[in-house]
Structure formats: structure tokens, C-alpha cells
Amino acid sequence: MLTVNRDDKRPIWQQLLDQAIHNITTGKWPPGELLIPSRELAQLIGVSRSTIQIVYEELFSRGYTVTSRRGGTRVSEGAYATSPSENIRTHGPLPPELPILNSAIGHLHRWFGNKDLQQAEINFSPHEPYIDELFQKNWRQSFLKASTETDLDHWAYGNAYGYIPLREQIQRYLSLERGIHVELDQIILTSGAQHSIDLIAQALLHEGETVSVEDPGFPAAWMALNYRRMQVVSVPVDEYGLCVEHIHPASKLVFVTPSHQCAVGVIMSEPRRQQLLHLASQNRFWIVEDDYDSEFRYRGDPLPTLFSKSPQNTLYMMSFSKMVAPGIRLSAIIGPKVAIRQIAQVHELTYRHLPIMEQITLTHFMEHGHFMRHMRRVRNIYRRRHETMTKAIVSAGLSEHFTLSGVETGLHMLLEADKSFDEVEVTDLALEKGVRVYPLSMYCLESDRKGWVLGFAKVDEMAIKEGIDRLAELLL
């Protein structure tokens, strides 16, 4: 008999339904058993007939019962299921072993500095830009405006290329600030550099093809390509940038950071650029140009891009992670129409489109001048911190024993040590002194170069000086 507990906060029909299901699944009501008519059961329990009718309708809709005009309502033949023994544990399917994924994630965590572990008083992170309350205020203003002005049509399925007004703003920015003139269908929006690389690999490469990457370089790039089962080949980097003559002849794609090399910080020389462009044209491979922080140049204007010189086989990656904030997860790929179209098709199939509110908010942020004002303001902050970092390294005597590079552009520089130097020990000792530095080995695929990649975007001038002095105590 079903019972009602008046102290139970659940609705009466839910109480009765749960009891009925329990009786069926445990075999107390065996298959084929005729249930008491709803009117009669309602009188026995002391509830309305409509409550019992709800319970019976739910049992039927969930497949626990069958009904007929003459046969009434009976327990379904397939409804009974033995309850597992309390002594037997049930297990679901196990995910497959993915050693490539596990090792890559571990490397990424170490590269980012294991933020979940010991916190540092002074963190020379090369990964994050400067953001403050003024940025947050302006972004919130854009978000609220975007929320108020959003058309209902925006909440439908969107364009795989990305929100058109935002692509128009990016198109305008590239034309005015970078000298890159493209049509709208040459731009696709993505959710960060790794998303861009993953889409490029899926759309433009076949599994097992050879790709060449800088070494030292951008770990997320070669790990994402490796996970897509590409044959990743390392290419050394020297004071002039990527050593083009070492590019594997079978390469279908070459990933480069020519304006400010991801780890070493050098700028690819003009002869090397011409050599790379000539080789790409001759061997018909893709160049992926990651231009992640070249907007912050301290000697003159940003350098011309490879894309502006060879747009037919170059994919230009730009990201708002360094220009604005990593948390908004917006970036773009600019390239030939045929390549961008294929990337958009993969994007539509696998991701559909990006979240709309972030796109609309960034559009408002750019349209109303917040973006360019933010860029001008942070450039001045970075210029001061860059100068403080350089002077601190020199005044501490570090430049006399280590090689300093990457000081013209971007948000980090490299303090390079001899290959025999134990950079890991120094990294650990520095952390004990409250200073987090980032060893060059975390950026290396096969290279044995040693040193520390030092970012300054999130460290104020006083902390920079103090952090470099603490580091010098360990190194000198």
C-alpha cells in the first residue's frame, strides 16, 4: 500500500510515484500485476483521484506500466530490474589511456608556474597582461550596454565566422594600426591561440603530416599539434630568429612568432623573413604567424607582418589575451578566403560558434574607444616597467654574467645562462625567497638552452627592483 507522509516537503504525487517505482523495480509489484483502479486507490490513501491519475500517467510515460481499455493498468514486462547487491560495486566505463594528453597538461601546468601550488610574493609571469579597476569599470560599462541593447536575434545560432560587427572592428584596427588590409570573410573569431591552432590543424592538415615549430617556442602550439597527431619537428632559434635552413623539407606548416619570439624574445631579421617567405612559396606550406604581443614595442612602431608580405599562404593569429585580458577568450585568425572558409566549416561542425555576449561586449568596448584608450594607457605602464626591469638587471650585475635578450618588444625578456647552469635549482631557490621565475626549459622541445623568461606586465616598479635583487643574490 502506498502511504502519504504529511511532514515530507515533496508533493504528494511525487511521494506516491517514488514509492510505486520502488515497488516495481524491486519486484514487489511483479510484471503483469494489475494496479488498483485510480478511484479506489485514491479512497484507500485519502487523496484526490487526480493525484493518483498523475502518478499513473507518469508511470506509463516512463515505461513502468502498460494500459488497455479492458485490462486496466498493469506493470510492464520489462520494468522489473534486480537491485545490485550491497556487496557488489557497480562500475561505469573507463576513459581510455591518453598519455599524450596527460603529459601535455602536466607540461602546461609547469609552464604556467603551477598556480595551485606555492604562491609567490613577486611573480615575473610572462603570460598575463596588466589589468586594473579602470579596465574593469569600462568593461562592465560595455557589458551592461551590450546587455541592454542586444537584439533578440542575437540569441539565435550565430555565424561560425564570428559576430560581424566585431569582425568589422578588428578589420578596422588591423588596417589603421598594423597596415593589414583584408576583407571581412578573411577573418574568423576564435577562443584563444590554442583554439586557433586546433582549428587550423583540423581544417588544413592531415593526420601524421609534418609541422615545424620554434625551439624554444610556444609549448601550447606544439602540444596541440602533437595531440592532433601531427609529426612535430623542432627548429632552433638564434639571435636572428627561426633558423629557416633547419625547417624540415616535408613540412606542411611552420609556426613562428617573428615579431617577438615567444621564449627568447628576439625579432626575426629581415633576411630570415624573406628566406622563410620564399621557402613557403616554393614548398607550398602554411606559415602560422602568432603576433601575440608585438603591439607593445618600445623602439618605433610595430614591425610589418609576414602576412602583409605573403597573404596567400600565411595565417595571422591575433589575440586579445595580451591586449586586453585572457579571461575574455577572444582571438582571431586572418588568412586567405579559401583557408578561412574551411576553418569556419570545421568550427561550425565542432563548436558551432562563440558565445555571443563576450563578442558584443568587446565590440562595444572597441566602438566606443575604450580599447584604444586602454592600449595607450597600458603601453605607458609597460614602457616604465620595461625600463625598470632592464635597469634593475644591469645595476644588479646580472647582465655581466648572463645574456639579456628580447628587450625591444613585448611583455617579457630572457635572461639566458650557460647550458651547464642548473636553472631548476635556481628557480626553486628563488621561489623560496618569494620570487617566481620561469625556466627556459619549459619552452624547449629538444633544445638544451637554459635561462629564465621574465615577464613584467603584472609587477610594479618597486617589486621589479626587489625581485631582481633577490634573484641576483642567488645567481652572483
The whole-number pLDDT of residue 94 equals: 82
140, 228, 254, 440, 452 from 217: Cα distances, Å:
35, 18, 12, 9, 13
Distance separating alpha carbons of residues 433 and 212, to the nearest angstrom: 38
Around Cβ 446, how many Cβ atoms within 10 Å?
10
Half-sphere exposure at residue 6, Cβ-oriented, CA atoms within 13 angstroms: 3
pLDDT of residue 116: 54
29-44 in b/e form (b: 16+ CB < 10 A) is: beeeeebbebeebbee
Q: Given this model, what pLDDT does residue 82 score?
A: 52
**What CATH architecture is 151-368?**
3-Layer(aba) Sandwich (3.40)
DSSP state of 95: P
- Domain assignments of the chain as residue spans, ordered by start: 12-75, 113-130+373-475, 151-368
C-alpha cell belonging to residue 81: 530490474
Mean pLDDT, range 284-309, rounded to an integer: 88
> Cell for 4?
502519504
Residue 345 confidence (pLDDT) above 60 = yes
**Are 75 and 33 spatial neighbours (Cβ–Cβ below 8 Å)?**
yes
* pLDDT of res. 25: 87
- Looking at every residue in the chain, the average pLDDT score rounds to 91
Q: What is the pLDDT of residue 43?
A: 92
* Of residues 464, 423, 455, the one with CA closest to residue 440: 423
- CB-based contacts of 239, cutoff 8 Å, min separation 6: 266, 405
Per DSSP, the residues of 18-86 read HHHHHHHHTTSS-TTPBPPPHHHHHHHHTS-HHHHHHHHHHHHHTTSEEEETTTEEEE-TT---PPPPT
| H/E run at residue 286 | strand 286-290
User: Cα separation of 268 and 406, whole Å?
Assistant: 11
User: 81 or 182, which is more confident?
Assistant: 182
Amino acid at 322: K
pTM, 2 dp: 0.84
For 214-227, what is the mean pLDDT?
93
Q: Going by DSSP bridges, is the β-strand pair 231-238/241-242 parallel, antiparallel, or unpaired?
A: antiparallel
Question: Looking at domain 113-130+373-475, which of 3.30.300.30, 3.90.1150.10, 3.40.710.10, 3.30.479.10 is its CATH number?
Answer: 3.90.1150.10
**Which DSSP symbol is given to 160?**
T
Fold of the 12-75 domain: Arc Repressor Mutant, subunit A (1.10.10)
Given a cut of 60, whether residue 456 has pLDDT beyond it is yes
In the predicted structure, residue 195 carries a pLDDT above the cut 70: yes
What are 48-80's pLDDT values in tens digits?
999 999 999 999 999 999 988 777 889 998 776
Residue-level pLDDT at 360? 94
Bridge partners for 438 per DSSP: 453
Q: How far apart are CA 258 and CA 319, in angstroms?
A: 15
pLDDT tens-digit profile of 110-124? 777 666 556 889 999
* Nearest-angstrom CA–CA distance, 225 and 232: 7
Percent of the chain with pLDDT over 90: 73
Quick: pLDDT tens for 78-113: 776 555 555 556 677 888 888 888 888 887 777 776
pLDDT at 147: 87
Instruction: State the pLDDT at residue 156.
Output: 81
